[in-house]
Amino acid sequence: MGNTQPPVVKRSLFSWVFANNAKYQILLVVIIMVTVFARVLPLEMQKRIVNQAISLRKIDLLLRYCSIYIVAVVTASGLKFLINILQTLIAQRATAEMRKELYRHLLTLPLNFFRKTQQGTIVNALAAELALPGNFVGMAVAVPVSNILTLVAFAGYLFWLNPLLAAVSLSIYPAVIFLIPLLQKRVNRANKQRIDKARVMSSKVAETVSGIHEIQSNGSFGIESRKFDRIVEQLYKIRVRWSLFRFGIKSTNNFFVSLGPFLIFILGGYLAIRGQLALGSLVAFLSAQEKLYDPWKELIEFYQVYQDGSVSYNRTMKLFDIEPEHVLEPEGREPYTFKGAIDVKNLSFATETGIRLLRDVTFSLKPGEHLAVVGFSGSGKSTLAQCIGQLYKYNDGNLLIDGHEVSQLTKRDIVNNVGFVAQSPFIFTGTIEENLLYSSAARFDGQGEIDPALLPDRDDRIEVLQQTGIFVDVLRFGLNTILSRDENPELVEQIIRVRRNLQEDFGEQLSEYVEFYRSDQYLFYSSIAENLFFGTPNREDLQVENLPRNPYFLDFLKQAELSMPLMGLGAELCRQIVDILGNLPPDEIFFEQSPISPDEIETYKALSGRLKQARLHRLPPEDQEKLLGLALRFIPGKHKMVALPKLLRELIMEGRSIFREAIQKDLPGAVTFYQESEYIYSQTILNNIFFGKMKTATSHAQEKINQSIIQVLIGEDMLETIIEIGMQFHVGSSGDRLSGGQRQKLAVARVFLKAPPVLIMDEATSALDNKSQFRIQNLLDTRWKGRHTLISVIHRLDTIKKYDKIIVLKAGKIGEMGTYEELMEKRGMLYELTGGKR
């Protein structure tokens, strides 16, 4: 059954007032009617208190009327609070629904829309511009109903008290009703300009963030700042004008409303003096007239919110008012399941500006055949791939998959049967696993939660990680995970068993690459602080950066006679590093073997100068603190500019046992000491398996270590567990914690896991090294050929020899087509592209 609801961009602002909110709006009306009565009642009580209780000197009437008065005031206040809560609930529900519906629509828009529209404009429209319309929806029933009823009730009460005085006091409102719409037109005009300019500013910020690399590499800070300054100045002037007109409306309203009491005092005072109006009635009249201001002011504000919200809503919907190029879901049938036969006949594609990117392209593929698309730059290779994948809608010709015209297929038909890997694939914020399952999950996406049983199981996920070469990366992510203390205790016990097995089976082989923790040995690849602790601190004040200021630790150093030797080491480090690195550029590469970072070098240069003028014990405390901190983070195996004196090494080893004994007594639990039978929760799974630290990060060492660890993990049946942990690694914003090669491998892995009948790869391995490219190409040649149809845009021509067909594009047309051997024999375009190399 088709959805009769109009597209979100065609809905009016008022259509959201009762959508999913009808019961709340009805409840609001009921509460408002009670509230209005509760607000009018105190006015009558004022009159009776003055005319009856006070005039007749009756205490019982005074108490009765005062009680009714306070109950009515409290009731009205409580109900007003409840009305505000319901208004807020309705407003936020409406805003959330608008955003969700508009976002769903946004996802279906043609790619060309996103190429023409700045990211900042889209973000600003969804994030900011729908807030005002949402607020209006929250107010749409409550504010007019509440305030109009209140005005009618108060006005009726005024006429009941004195018709003449009521008519005079209400005579000012028609003038206000006439003037305010005139001013509001100017407000609307300025508001439209404000929205448009705010979009321009948002787009400029988004462009700056996207192009920050170019800005910084060119040093074009002034150029970009001036561009942004001009936009901000224009927005500033528009906002000032917009605000002035808004304040003009408020000032006009306030002026006319303030005339009310003046008229009442003149006429009402005259009538009271003449005895034609009771004093209590005059008091009630003044109170009622004053209370008229609040609903009137709220109605004026509501009118402004409606106008601003209407402008913002219409601007936003107009921006996205574009039809999707393809129907999303099939009606009356299940999605097609294709075998993968592709027929392209006279296919042409031109941009909106009339530039023809494809001209009369014709070819056909049987199910399971592989096609390589090659050609000169700008020849239309990617355009062809995107037309087949329904990302572009071609203008002329036919493109058939199993006899079905691609332009007439639904998105669901394409999603279920076609996989696409782009040259620069996008990795979504989230985990490795979420990205890996992304394409597979999309096949079962019915706008609801996806049943995990429908998704590929663990074995399939691990297999595809191995096939694409990202398995080792995921393993490393898992091994570099730090477990919390409430993690699975069985996993911790398994890791400790793996630790023992690794050292028994591979300890001697790995000793060249790993420094194992030994309580009777100095650890050259750990800092001096770690050597003293022989463990990891559990308190913030015992972290290495805080130790030079920690009184307990400083007392220990004095008792162990380590204070001056460590400061002496710090001074030697300072002098040597400043002499060697002091005049070099502050680049990380020069400071890899230094405990001083590039941004600290100037500080230590100044300290080095002071060391020439004063002995260590005469240096100010802050200088001594810096030298001590430098020594404590010194790692002899890494920071090779200065050697660790043998005497100091022996003192540190003696201090290790003294420190352990003292801190266990004085501060129990402050440090977790290294023990072969205990898990170290502050360190990674890898370091816990090693029970040590790596000496080198070379690829050869890493490969040896990986092989050893994998063998031990397989022996303990833990490899899959570590891989599962690794798949929970968060890839960062848009995958920025992954390298370009890792992102591309992950993109290939997710489409391989989906295993569609038709696979399109648009230079999908361009960021990979030769070994990784060969791995994936070999997999395509052996596992995919004959089973899945492949269209691959190729950038490396040495990988195309085994393809069933090759087409060479030039200026959007097929220049030649055939097998590799046929085209090389012709000595045509392919021969030219390869330089004649077979």
| DSSP run (H or E) holding 201 | helix 173-210
Instruction: Report domain extents, the chain.
Output: 2-319, 342-468+740-837, 518-673
> By mean pLDDT, which of 99-113, 263-277, 758-772, 803-817 is the weakest?
263-277
Place of tokens 């900011």: 128
What is the percent of the chain with per-residue pLDDT over 90, rounded to a whole number? 23
What is the pLDDT, as a whole number, of residue 415? 87
Residue 571, SS3?
A: helix
What is the pLDDT, as a whole number, of residue 444? 75
CA 113 to chain centre: 22
Q: Do domains 2-319 and 342-468+740-837 have the same CATH topology?
A: no
Does the structure show a pLDDT above 90 at 568?
yes
- Pairing mode of beta strands 514-516, 396-401: unpaired
Position 124 confidence tier, pLDDT thresholds 50, 70, 90: confident
Does the structure show a pLDDT above 80 at 407?
yes
CB atoms within 10 A of CB 453: 6
What is each CA distance from 311 to 189, 203, 537, 732, in whole angstroms?
9, 20, 59, 37
What is the pLDDT, as a whole number, of residue 267? 64
> By mean pLDDT, which of 459-473, 503-517, 567-581 is the weakest?
503-517
Pick the closest to residue 538 from 484, 610, 603 (CA basis): 484
Pick the closest to residue 650 from 797, 568, 812, 532 (CA basis): 532
What is the pLDDT, as a whole number, of residue 262? 61
> By mean pLDDT, which of 201-210, 520-529, 560-569 is the weakest?
201-210
What is each CA distance from 1 to 329, 423, 445, 666, in whole angstroms?
12, 39, 19, 75
Does the structure show a pLDDT above 90 at 547?
yes
pLDDT in tens, 80-96: 888 888 888 888 888 88
CB 503 within 8 A of CB 495: no
pLDDT in tens, 708-745: 888 888 888 899 999 999 999 999 888 888 888 899 99
What is the mean pLDDT of the segment spanning 591-606? 89
What is the mean pLDDT of the segment spanning 254-280? 63
> By mean pLDDT, which of 484-493, 576-585, 805-814 is the weakest?
484-493
What is each CA distance from 144 to 32, 128, 246, 260, 303, in whole angstroms?
10, 25, 20, 22, 9
Cα dihedral: 115, 116, 119, 121 (round 10): -160
pTM for this prediction: 0.74
CB 346 within 8 A of CB 362: yes
Does the structure show a pLDDT above 70 at 75?
yes
pLDDT in tens, 610-650: 888 888 888 899 999 999 999 999 999 999 888 899 999 99
| Domain 342-468+740-837, CATH number (from 3.40.50.1220, 3.40.50.300, 3.40.190.10, 3.90.550.10) | 3.40.50.300
Q: Share the mean pLDDT of the chain.
A: 83
Position 1 confidence tier, pLDDT thresholds 50, 70, 90: very low
Taken in order 266, 269, 271, 273, the sign of the CA dihedral is negative
pLDDT in tens, 348-403: 998 887 888 899 999 999 999 999 999 888 888 889 999 998 888 888 999 999 99
Better-predicted residue by pLDDT, 692 or 157: 692
Does the structure show a pLDDT above 60 at 234?
yes
- Pairing mode of beta strands 813-818, 396-401: unpaired
What is the pLDDT, as a whole number, of residue 567? 93
d(CA 58, CA 53) in angstroms, rounded, equals 5
792 Rama class: left (phi>0) / alpha (psi -120 to 50) / beta: beta
HEC profile of 770-837: HHHHHHHHHHHHHHHCCCCEEEEECCCHHHCCCCCEEEEEECCEEEEEECHHHHHHHCCHHHHHHCCC
**Highest mean pLDDT range out of 129-143, 413-427, 438-452?**
413-427
534 Rama class: left (phi>0) / alpha (psi -120 to 50) / beta: left
What is the pLDDT, as a whole number, of residue 343? 94
d(CA 47, CA 279) in angstroms, rounded, equals 8
d(CA 299, CA 215) in angstroms, rounded, equals 50
What is the pLDDT, as a whole number, of residue 266? 64
> By mean pLDDT, which of 162-171, 253-262, 480-489 is the weakest?
253-262
Residue 139 tokens, joined: 């107010």
What is the pLDDT, as a whole number, of residue 749? 92
d(CA 203, CA 235) in angstroms, rounded, equals 14
CB 83 within 8 A of CB 142: yes
Which stretches within 320-431 are classed as H helix?
Answer: 381-388, 411-417
What is the pLDDT, as a whole number, of residue 2? 43
| Domain 2-319, CATH number (from 3.30.930.10, 3.40.50.1370, 1.20.1560.10, 1.10.4080.10) | 1.20.1560.10
Position 238 confidence tier, pLDDT thresholds 50, 70, 90: confident
What is the pLDDT, as a whole number, of residue 707? 84
Does the structure show a pLDDT above 60 at 3?
no
What is each CA distance from 757 to 342, 423, 458, in whole angstroms?
11, 20, 22
What is each CA distance from 458 to 32, 347, 463, 464, 721, in whole angstroms?
58, 42, 9, 10, 10
What is the mean pLDDT of the segment spanning 493-500? 89
Does the structure show a pLDDT above 60 at 447?
no
d(CA 462, CA 790) in angstroms, rounded, equals 23
| DSSP run (H or E) holding 659 | helix 646-666
Which stretches within 534-645 are classed as H helix?
Answer: 551-559, 563-581, 601-611, 621-632
Residue 434 tokens, joined: 């979420």
